[in-house]
Amino acid sequence: MPSTLIIGGHGKVALLAAPMLGDLGFSVTSVIRDCAQSADIEATGATPLVLDITEVTPEEWDTLLAGFDVIVWSAGAGGGAPERTYAVDRDATLAVIDSLERLRDAGKTPR
């Protein structure tokens, strides 16, 4: 069964995508920032993973992303404070891209 990581798992798109991916035979893990969102994630058939994506180190990204076949970016700060928007919408996005490039260059692309 192919594995999928949805980063930003509690957003509207992610909550719709997770059960669709499950119906197609994917196992789905959804990254959320608040453990109180876990029940909503479980209701979609996905496994919640509580993680502040603004605090993940490059090494942690590499380890996490290498364990999945498919990575879906669905995170967004939702128009909050500019600092949070940059941290999520720009910095965390670039950190994931950088990690995927490192994994590719090392021949360790996500499963």
Q: Confidence class of residue 93 from pLDDT cuts 50, 70 and 90?
A: very high
Q: Confidence class of residue 104 from pLDDT cuts 50, 70 and 90?
A: very high
Q: Is 80 exceeded by the pLDDT of residue 25?
A: yes
Q: How many residues does the chain have?
A: 111
Closest CA to 51 of 3, 5, 98: 5
Q: Confidence class of residue 109 from pLDDT cuts 50, 70 and 90?
A: confident
Rounded Cα–Cα distance for residues 77 and 14 (Å): 14
Q: And the tokens for 22?
A: 């499950």
Across residues 50-72, what is the average pLDDT?
Answer: 96
Q: Confidence class of residue 77 from pLDDT cuts 50, 70 and 90?
A: confident
- Full set of structural domains in the chain with CATH: 3-105 (3.40.50.720)
Closest CA to 59 of 98, 7, 4, 105: 98
Across residues 71-76, what is the average pLDDT?
Answer: 95
Q: Quote the pLDDT of residue 111.
A: 58
Q: And the tokens for 65?
A: 């992303």
